[in-house]
Amino acid sequence: MPKLDFDIITLGHGSGGILTNKLLEAGVFDLLSNPLLDTHHDGALLNLTGRVAFTTDSYVISPVFFPGGNIGELAVNGTVNDLAMCGAVPKYLSLGFILEEGLPMAEFWDILVSIKGASERAGVQIVTGDTKVVERGKGDKIFINTSGIGELHPKADISIKNVRAGDKVVVSGHIATHGMAIMSVREGLEFETTLTSDTAPLNHAVLALLDEFGPAVHLLRDPTRGGVATVLNEIARDRNVGTTRLGIDLKQAAIPVLDEVAGACELLGLDPLYVANEGVFLAIVDPEVADAFVRKLRTLDYGQSAAIIGEVVADHPGQVVLTSRIGGRRVVNMLVGEQLPRIC
């Protein structure tokens, strides 16, 4: 960590004056250095070819440091994954900070180092950014916004319009791990666990799958907030899906959940289907290639536990229906508000 004169972030660091300059020159620019960022211009000039995907996301997680990561790598991975879900090769990110006065400089530095590591792992460059500081009490330590740009993979044809009855629903890994890792360190809920967040860049795996399976990959989604249940409901309820509205059948027994996660969910009265993920994606693929798709995915980073968990069906349009482990069937609905722990 470079010497930055101050132990904590002050309002001056967001003033645009000498402190801002020092913070950027001594810290951010050096650490994240690349030819586009090094121009220190008001914006970045990019060379792009073909169709381009563009996305943005804001990160407000509490606590900022959690088992398995921190807000910095989450902010990179999240936006990288959103681009990958479009079938794009992530190239460039913007990085906007809203810092709360009083944030320890050491924590800010740790977050920056994580951002650098995560962008290297994902193979993206941070090319432009912004830093603002708000008064103590007006923020929650640090908020980060990242926007991302990626070039569309030449073989990608990702669209909800391509989803057909008979398509298989694939999940790339154990679900609900991130949400339960965060939950284990939330104030008032702390419980002992070795769970760590699954935050990870999914672009390399996705691009390898697109290389091999191209347009047989009909749809990709990352089930972050609201979890798998929410994303699948969005798909089932989408008016653009295929030619007619479709339903989704899920097999509970096929859905990969770590024992420890299942146990924590059980204790807290939560349903893993609604718990957030950061290193998992859902793919809806042509049934012809589904088995090969899963075999391939299992050889790729973060895909070892991939499984076919369900199927797109013509029955019960608009609804996601789960066959429970014991063979009963029930509707999996949209999550209403926050998932609240039950009394007993």
Partner 1 sequence: MKHLTEYRDPELVEQYIQELHRTATRPWTIMEVCGGQTHGLVKNGILNLLPEFVTMVHGPGCPVCVTPVNLIDKAVYLAEDKAVILCSFGDMIRVPGSTKSLLDAKAGGADVRILYSPLEAVRLARENPDREVVFFAVGFETTAPANALAVVQAQKLGLTNFSILASHVLVPPAMEAVIQDDDTHIQGFLAAGHVCAIMGIDAYGPLVERYKMPMVVTGFEPVDLLQGILMVVRQLERGEYRLENQYARVVRPEGNPEARRIIEQVFETVDREWRGIGTIPGSGWAVRLELAAFDADRKFSVSIAKAPECPDCIAGLVLKGIKKPNECSQFGRACTPERPLGAPMVSSEGACAAYYHFSMSELVND
Nearest to 9 by CA among 116, 69, 99, 75: 99
Residue whose CB is less far from partner 1, 114 or 233:
233
Cα-based distances in Å from 319 to 13, 231, 233: 50, 12, 7
Q: What does the per-residue mask of binding to partner 1 show for 308-327, with x meaning CB under 8 A?
A: --------xxxx-xxxxxxx
Footprint of partner 1 on residues 214-253 (CB under 8 A)? 237
Q: Of the listed pieces 94-102, 106-114, 265-273, 281-289, which binds partner 1 according to CB under 8 A?
A: 265-273
The H helix count followed by the E strand count for the chain is 10, 13
Angle formed at CA 224 by CA 120 and CA 333, multiple of 5 degrees: 165
Contact of 9 with 108, CB cutoff 8 Å: yes
The reply to whether 50 sits near partner 1 by the rule CB under 8 A is no
Largest Cα–Cα separation, the chain: 66
Q: How far is the CB of 99 from partner 1 (least distance, A)?
A: 24
Q: What does the per-residue mask of binding to partner 1 show for 268-307, with x meaning CB under 8 A?
A: xx--------------------------------------
Residue whose CB is less far from partner 1, 146 or 339:
339
Residue whose CB is less far from partner 1, 35 or 188:
188
Dist. CA 48–CA 236, nearest whole Å: 34
Footprint of partner 1 on residues 162-221 (CB under 8 A)? 188-189
Nearest to 162 by CA among 84, 251, 81, 235: 235
The reply to whether 262 sits near partner 1 by the rule CB under 8 A is yes
For partner 1, the binding residue among 41, 138, 295, 330 (CB under 8 A) is 330
User: Exposed, middle or buried by CB within 10 Å (0-12, 13-18, 19+), for 5?
Assistant: exposed
Contacts to partner 1 by CB under 8 A:
188-189, 237, 259, 262-263, 266, 268-269, 316-319, 321-334, 336-337, 340-344
